[in-house]
Amino acid sequence: MSWGVEHLPYGVFSRHEGETPRVGVRYGEHVVDLAGALHDEVFATGSLNAFMARGSAAWRDTRAVLQNKLRTDPGAVEAHLVPLDQVRLHLPFEVADYVDFYCSLEHASNLGRMFRPNEEPLKPNWRHLPVGYHGRAGTVVVSGTPVVRPSGQRGAGVFGPSAKLDIEAELGFVVGAPTTLGERAGRFADHVFGVTLVNDWSARDIQAWEYVPLGPFLGKSFATSVSPWITPLDALSEARVPGVAQDPEPLDYLRRDEPWGLDLTLEIALNGDVVSRPPYRGMYWTPDQMLAHMTVNGASLRTGDLYASGTISGADPDQRGSLIELTWNGTEPLKLPDGSSRSFLEDGDTITITATAPGPNGTLLTLGEVTGTILPAR
Amino acid sequence: MSWGVEHLPYGVFSRHEGETPRVGVRYGEHVVDLAGALHDEVFATGSLNAFMARGSAAWRDTRAVLQNKLRTDPGAVEAHLVPLDQVRLHLPFEVADYVDFYCSLEHASNLGRMFRPNEEPLKPNWRHLPVGYHGRAGTVVVSGTPVVRPSGQRGAGVFGPSAKLDIEAELGFVVGAPTTLGERAGRFADHVFGVTLVNDWSARDIQAWEYVPLGPFLGKSFATSVSPWITPLDALSEARVPGVAQDPEPLDYLRRDEPWGLDLTLEIALNGDVVSRPPYRGMYWTPDQMLAHMTVNGASLRTGDLYASGTISGADPDQRGSLIELTWNGTEPLKLPDGSSRSFLEDGDTITITATAPGPNGTLLTLGEVTGTILPAR
C-alpha cells in the first residue's frame, strides 16, 4: 500500500481543538502518535523541528525502530494509532527561511519566451548555477488552507485583484540539521530531512510589473502551500536516479557526488480533472546542487529551512507545471471536461497536486497531496 | 545625553556565559534589567519577541512606566542597572521574515547607471511602488559579529572570494504586532515597534552575475548586521517629517496619512574615518508606504519581521550609502587619511554605521551603532 511501513511520512496532528499538536507518521489510514509509541517527548512539541534538529543518525534510528515495531510487534503500536479522519493536520514544521529555485530548463525557457520575447529565453547565468531567491516564510501554509486572491499593482496606476492567478507545482526540501555561519553544508543527506510537495501560488500580472530588478515579491508572497506529510529521504531510496547531463560541466562545488535526481511523477488536478503530469526526474539542477549553491557563500542553514525546486515542467506540453505555461499566458485556454475553459484560476477553483515514486520492494509511494481553493479577493 | 530617559532603546543582554539573555533598555552607560525593574517575566525570555507581540498599547505603557520611574524614583531602578561594559549584547529579536526595499531614488539611479548603462537608470515600476524583495532572515546577525568574506561565482566559470565586497547603510523597521493572512496591515505605529541601523553587506561581483531574473541571492545572504539597540518609534516623535514629494501621486493604498519621513543622519566610518553621511529624510518611499505595500496582497506580518529601507544615498557624492556608489564601481577609489585607498572592502576592514536624530526637548538621539569587521575568505 502507498502508506505502508516502507513510507512512513512525518506530519503534525491534533485530535481536538486546543490540543498541542503532536508529531505522527502516516500508516495506512491512521496516524501513529510517536510521542506515545516511542516514549519520546520530542514528538509532543507542536512541530517537527526539535526532532529534525537531532540530525540524520537520529532520523535513521527512529525510522528503523518504528519499522521494526510495525513489522514484528504491531500490537504494541495499536494503542497509539489514531484514525486519519479524526485528526486535524497542521503545518508540519516551523519554516525558517524559504528559498525557491528555478531548476527546470523547460520552465525557465518557457517563461523567458513569454516574459522577454525579444531575448534569449535563458539568461547567461542559468546553466552555470541554480538560480534562486528568497520567498516569504511566514506565508507558507499547510495543504487545505484557502487562498485569498491577492490584490496589487498590475501596471502603472492599475490596481485590483490579480487576473492571472496561477500555480507552480514544485518539490520542496526540508532542512533538518543546521550549519554554522561561514561554513558550507556537507552531504545532502546529512542536512535534508525529507521532501514535500509545494504549490507556489503566483499572481503573474503582479509579478510581471514588480519583478525588475530585484525579483518576485508580492506576486508570490501571499501564500505558498505545502503537503502535511514530509517523506523522509530514506523512503525515496528506490526513486534515486542520476541527474540529467549538464553542459557546461558545473564548477567543483556543484559536482554531483551521489545520485540525487528523483524519479517522481507529479499530477496536477484542477477541480478534480488532471491537467498535467510533470516529471521531476528531468530537472536540470538536482537538490544536492541547490544545497551546495545556497551555502557556498557561507550562508548558514537552520532547522526548518525549506527550499523548493521551482516549477517542474517536462518537455511535453502536458507536462508543464504552471497554468501560464499550459495556456501559454492565457492565449491557449485549457478545455475542461465540464465544457468550461481556463486561462488562469477562477474563484472557487481547487488545485490538488499529488505525486508518486517507486518505493522499496516494488511498491509505489504516494506523496502527501497539497491542495488549496481560491477565495474571492477581499 | 544621548542615552537618557527620552531615548530608552531596547536590547537583549547577558551578564555571563550560559545565562539566558534578558531584555533591557540602555540608559546612559548602563542597561536597565527590565524583568527585575518592572517585575515582568516577558523580559526574561531571551528576545524582544514576546514583549513586542503584546502590541502598541503595551509598548507605550511600558515606556511611560519606565520613564516615570527613572524621573521620579531613580533609586528604585538602581538595583537593576548593569554597567554596559559588563554585558554581552545579543541579536535583540528573533527575525521572522526579512524584506529589503530599494527606497532611495539616488541609490536606485546610481546602481541603474552602473549595472545597466545603456538603459534608463530607473525601471518603469520604480516611481509607482516601493520595490522590495525577501532576504535571508537566518543570517541577520548582531553588530560586532565578524563577517567572513563570501566566495561564489563571479561570472561564467569564475569562482573565488568576492573581490567587490561592499556595504549598504540602511534603516530597519521591526514589526511587533502581527496581522492575519489575507488582511492588510493597519496604521504603521500599530504594527512597527521600532527602528535599527542595518548594514546589508553585499558582494557586488556575485550579485551582478546571479541577479537576473529573480533578484539578489548569494550576493547578500551571507550576512546582514543590525544594531543591538532597537529605538522605539515613540522616541522618534521629534524626528518625524513629511516624506518628500512624489510624482506620480501614488495609488490610494500608498497614500501617506501621517508624516513618517524621519530626519535621521547616518555616518559611515571605515576603520574609524568617516567616509559618508547619508540623510534618511530624503528617501523617496517612507516606511508606512513600505508596510502598506508589503501587505496589500494579503501577506501576513509576524512578530519579528524586519524590513529595511534599502541603501540610503543622498544627492551629494559624500552622502552615498555604499562603496560601489562612493567609488563609482571602483573607478574612483576613496583616499583614506592613512594614505591608503579603497575601491571595495579589504580583509580586516571595519565598517561602523551610526546615526543621530532630533530627540525630545532639544536633545540629540544617537541610535545604536552597527559595526562589523571583514575576515578573510575560508
Q: Chain B residue closest to A301 (CA)?
A: B138
Q: Which phi and psi angles does A203 have, rounded to 5°?
A: -100, 100
Name the average pLDDT for chain A: 97
B347 in A contact zone (CB under 8 Å): no
Q: Which phi and psi angles does A226 have, rounded to 5°?
A: -130, 155
- How far away is chain B from the Cα of A129, in angstroms, using its nearest Cα? 8
Which chain B residues have a beta carbon less than 8 Å from that of A222? 297-299
What pLDDT shows up at residue A360? 84
Name B96's Cβ contacts closer than 8 Å, sequence gap at least 6.
A137, A138, B137, B175, B302, B303, B304, B305, B306
What pLDDT shows up at residue A364? 94
- How far away is chain A from the Cα of B179, in angstroms, using its nearest Cα? 11
Helix (H, G, I), strand (E, B) or coil at A201: coil
The per-type count for chain A, helices as H runs and strands as E runs, is: 9, 27
Residue type, B217: F
CB B261 within 8 A of CB B166: no
B191 in A contact zone (CB under 8 Å): no
Interfacial A residues in 39-98 facing B (CB < 8 Å):
96-97
What pLDDT shows up at residue A116? 87
Among the partner-chain residues B203, B213, B248, the one whose CB lies closest to the CB of A123 is: B213
CB atoms within 10 A of CB A317: 13
Tell me if B320 is assigned to a ligand binding site.
no
CB B128 within 8 A of CB B291: no
Q: Which residue, A204, A196, A219, A222, is CA-closest to A92?
A: A196
Where chain B has pLDDT below 50, the residues are none
| ipTM for the complex shown | 0.97
pLDDT at A2 over 80: no
Among the partner-chain residues B97, B152, B182, the one whose CB lies closest to the CB of A136 is: B97
Q: Are strands B370-375 and B350-358 parallel, antiparallel or unpaired?
A: antiparallel
Q: Let me know if B7 is a catalytic residue.
A: no
Where residue A60 falls (left for φ over 0; alpha for ψ -120 to 50; beta otherwise) is alpha
Distance separating alpha carbons of residues A4 and B353, to the nearest angstrom: 58
Would the CB atoms of B96 and A137 count as touching at under 8 Å? yes
Task: Please write the tens of the pLDDT for every residue from A55-79.
Answer: 999 999 999 999 999 999 999 999 9
- Tell me the sheet residues that pair with B374: B147
Domains and CATH numbers, chain A: 10-90 (2.30.30.230), 98-375 (3.90.850.10)
Distance separating alpha carbons of residues B58 and B8, to the nearest angstrom: 15
* B interface test, pick of A122, A134, A159 with most B CB neighbours within 10 Å: A134
Distance separating alpha carbons of residues B287 and B103, to the nearest angstrom: 9
Task: Please write the tens of the pLDDT for every residue from B24-61.
Answer: 999 999 999 999 999 999 999 999 999 999 999 999 99
Active-site residue (options: A30, A107, A191, A293):
A107
Sign of the dihedral defined by the CA atoms of residues B68, B72, B76, B78, in that order: positive
Q: Chain B residue closest to A150 (CA)?
A: B297
Interfacial A residues in 278-307 facing B (CB < 8 Å):
293-294, 296-302, 305
pLDDT at A1 over 80: no
Distance separating alpha carbons of residues B103 and A198, to the nearest angstrom: 32
